[in-house]
Amino acid sequence: MRIVRFASPQGMSFGVLDGDGQVAQIEGHPFGRISFTGARHAQADIRLLSPILPSKVVCVGKNYAAHIEEMKGLTGDAPTEPLLFLKPSTAVIGPGDAIRIPPGSTNVQHEVELAVVIGARGARNVTPEQATASIFGYTIGNDVTERDMQKSDGQWTRAKGFDSFCPIGPWIETDLGALGLDPADLEVSCAVDGEVRQQGRTSQLIFDVPTLISYISQVMTLLPGDVVLTGTPSGVGPIRPGQRVEATIQGLGTLANSVAAAEGVSTAAGAR
C-alpha cells in the first residue's frame, strides 16, 4: 500500500495511492486501522507533500563500504558500530520542492538513501529480531550535505541541518513483499539532470535495517512517524541552482527535487 500526504483545496490529508493515479483519502493519520473518507482525488489535481512529518530524522553515516572509501580523506575509516546523527524536522521537504543552496556555498552534495518509517508501536530497546515489527514502511530520502562545512566544523549538524536538506518521498510503501521485493536488496540510484551518479543496492549496507533500528532504540525512543536514513552508496557529488535531482529506489518510485538558491538570494550568488 502506498501512503501519501497531500495538499488539496480542502487542506492537508493522508491517502492511499493506487496504480491508476487515484488517491483515496483517509481519516486522520495512517498509523493503525485505516478508515477511508470516501473522497477520491486524481493525482494530477493534488500536490504531494513529504509523506510524513517526523519528530526526528535519525541518520546513519558511513554505511556503504564504497562510500567510506570515496570519503576517507574527510570522514575516516569504517565504523565498528553505527554512526548516528540527527537532521531537524525543519529540513524535511517533499517531492517537487526545491533544495535551497545556502548563501555563499559551492559544495552542496546529494546522498540518496533508503528511508525507514517507524510505525504505531514505536521502538525502544528492541532487539534486531523485534525491530521489523516497528517498521511502518519504506520511502526515499536525500541526505543533502554541505561538504565544506562538514569538513570545517568537525561535526555534521550544520552541514546536514539546513532547511530543505532532507527531501523525503514520494510515498511510503508499507508492503514491499506484495511487490515481490525485499527491502534488504533494493536497487538505489541518484541522477542529476538525467546523469546517473549513484548506484548501489541495500544488500551492500554494512549494518542492516533491523540492526540499525535496534541500535538506535537503545539510545533514543523512536516514535511513530520517525524516519531512519540508512546511509548512501558511492557517487555523491555537487549540485547547483537550476539542476534537477532524481533519487530512485526499486519499488519506491522516484523522489525529484529542483535545486535553487536560498530564498532571498539570487541564483547567481547562490551558484558562486
Q: Is residue 270 part of a domain?
A: no
Q: Do 73 and 151 share a domain, yes or no?
A: yes
Q: Is residue 161 part of a domain?
A: yes
Tell me how many domains the chain contains: 2
* Confidence band for 8, pLDDT divided at 50, 70 and 90: confident
* 235-265 pLDDT tens trace: 999 999 999 999 999 999 999 999 999 986 5
Q: Do 175 and 208 share a domain, yes or no?
A: yes
Q: Is residue 30 part of a domain?
A: yes
Question: Residue 269 pLDDT > 50, yes or no?
Answer: no
Q: Which has the higher per-residue pLDDT, 216 or 68?
A: 216
Q: Do 89 and 30 share a domain, yes or no?
A: no
Q: Do 214 and 104 share a domain, yes or no?
A: yes
* 32-80 pLDDT tens trace: 999 999 999 999 999 999 999 999 999 999 999 888 888 766 767 788 9
Q: Do 157 and 40 share a domain, yes or no?
A: no
**Average pLDDT for the chain:** 94
Q: Do 216 and 257 share a domain, yes or no?
A: yes
Instruction: Name residue 100's amino acid.
Output: R
Q: Is residue 272 part of a domain?
A: no
Q: What is the CATH number of the domain that holds 215?
A: 3.90.850.10
Q: Do 35 and 63 share a domain, yes or no?
A: no
Strand partners, 36: 26
Distance, in Å, from the CA atom of 96 to the CA atom of 94, rounded to the nearest integer, reads 6
Q: Is residue 269 part of a domain?
A: no
pLDDT at 73: 64
Give me the mean pLDDT over the 226-241 stretch: 98
Q: What is the CATH number of the domain that holds 18?
A: 2.30.30.370
Neighbours of 78 (CB within 10 A): 14
Q: Is residue 267 part of a domain?
A: no
- Whole domain around residue 253: which residue ranges? 57-261
Q: Do 26 and 160 share a domain, yes or no?
A: no
Q: Do 36 and 121 share a domain, yes or no?
A: no
pLDDT at 67: 81
Q: Which has the higher per-residue pLDDT, 270 or 51?
A: 51
Q: Is residue 148 part of a domain?
A: yes
pLDDT at 265: 57
Q: Do 44 and 62 share a domain, yes or no?
A: no
Q: Do 183 and 64 share a domain, yes or no?
A: yes
pLDDT at 271: 33
Distance, in Å, from the CA atom of 168 to the CA atom of 254, rounded to the nearest integer, reads 10
Q: Is residue 268 part of a domain?
A: no
Q: What is the value of pTM for the model shown? A: 0.94
Q: Do 202 and 86 share a domain, yes or no?
A: yes
Question: Residue 123 pLDDT > 50, yes or no?
Answer: yes
Q: What are phi and psi of 72, to 5 degrees?
A: -60, -40
Alpha-carbon torsion angle 121, 11, 143, 126, nearest 10: 0
